Amino acid sequence: MVENNIEAVKKINNEWLAELEEEGGFCGLLMNQPFTDDYWKERYKIVFCNLETYGQPESTEKILNFPCFSKWLEVKNRTIKNTSLFIYFLYNSLMSDDINRDKLSQVKNDHETLLETIKKITYMNLLKDTNTKGRHFDEKYFWDFFKKDKDRKHTIDLINALSPNIFIVTGIGKDLIEQLFGKKFDENHLFVHNNTLFFSLGHPAMPTFTNDYIIHNVNMLKEGLKKYNLIKL
C-alpha cells in the first residue's frame, strides 16, 4: 500500500490552478484529486481519465469532488453514467468473481450503488477548462491546451503523485498519455510503466459503450494484470 500522498496531489493542483488563472481566458477550472481517502487504502488504486468540457462546474471549490460527480450522474450525463458502470464492474470483478452481466444491468440506474464504488477511485479530467457555454469537445482546443511543457509536466506529476496501479484513459486522451510517457498502447489497449497498467478505452459517451463492451474490456484489462504479474492478492 502506498502512503497517502494527498498533500502532494493538492500542491500540484494548487500550483497548476494558479498558473492557469493567471493566464486568464478560462471559463471554469476544475482540478482533480481522490474523492475520499479510501483511494489510498485500496488493493488497486484506480484512476479513470476522461477529457470533457462539460458545462458550468457544480463544484465551488475548483475541485472535481464527489458532490460534483454525483450531480453529473444525477442529471444522466452519459459519459458519467458509463464511466460509473465501467468502474463498478472493474472494481467488483477485481475484488471477487461473483459479478456478471445480470448484475451490471441491475445497477444501471442504481446511483447509490454506483457511487459507493466511485468513492474508492480517482476521476481525472484531462481538460481543465469546463466552459460555461457548454462547448462541445474541440480537438484543436485540447491540443492547444497541452502544447505548453508546463501543463504536460503538471499532468505527469499529478499521475505520479496518485501512484495508480491502474490508469484508464478514454478517447484521444490516449494519444496524450502515449506522448507523456513515451509508450504506445498495444493491440490489447495497454502498456505498463513503473508498475502501472495503462489501459485505453473508447469514449464513454459513444453508442458502442454497451454492457458487452464494458465486460470485454474489463476482462482484457484483467488479462493484462496477469500477463505483467500485477495481480494483487
| pLDDT tens string 172-186 | 999 999 999 999 999
Q: Between these two residues, 38 and 55, which has the higher pLDDT value?
A: 38
- 40 band by pLDDT with thresholds 50, 70 and 90: very high
Assigned C-alpha cell, 84: 460509473
Question: What is the mean pLDDT of the segment spanning 223-233?
Answer: 94
pLDDT given at position 1: 45
Class of domain 6-227: alpha beta
Angle at 134 between CA 116 and CA 142, to 5 degrees: 85
Assigned C-alpha cell, 102: 445480470
Q: Classify strands 196-201 and 166-170 as parallel, antiparallel or unpaired.
A: parallel
Q: Classify strands 196-201 and 190-193 as parallel, antiparallel or unpaired.
A: antiparallel
Q: Check if the beta carbon of residue 121 is closer than 8 Å to that of residue 92.
A: no
- Map out the domains of the chain as residue ranges: 6-227
Name 8's Cβ contacts closer than 8 Å, sequence gap at least 6: 161
Using DSSP's 3-state secondary structure scheme, residue 29 falls into strand
Angle at 9 between CA 75 and CA 115, to 5 degrees: 30
Q: Of 19-28, 41-50, 118-127, 195-204, which range is least confident?
A: 19-28
pTM for the predicted model, two decimal places:
0.94
Task: Tell whether the torsion through CA atoms of 60, 64, 65 and 68 is positive or negative.
Answer: positive
| pLDDT tens string 121-150 | 999 999 887 665 556 777 888 898 899 999
How far is C-alpha 45 from the chain's CA centre? Answer: 11
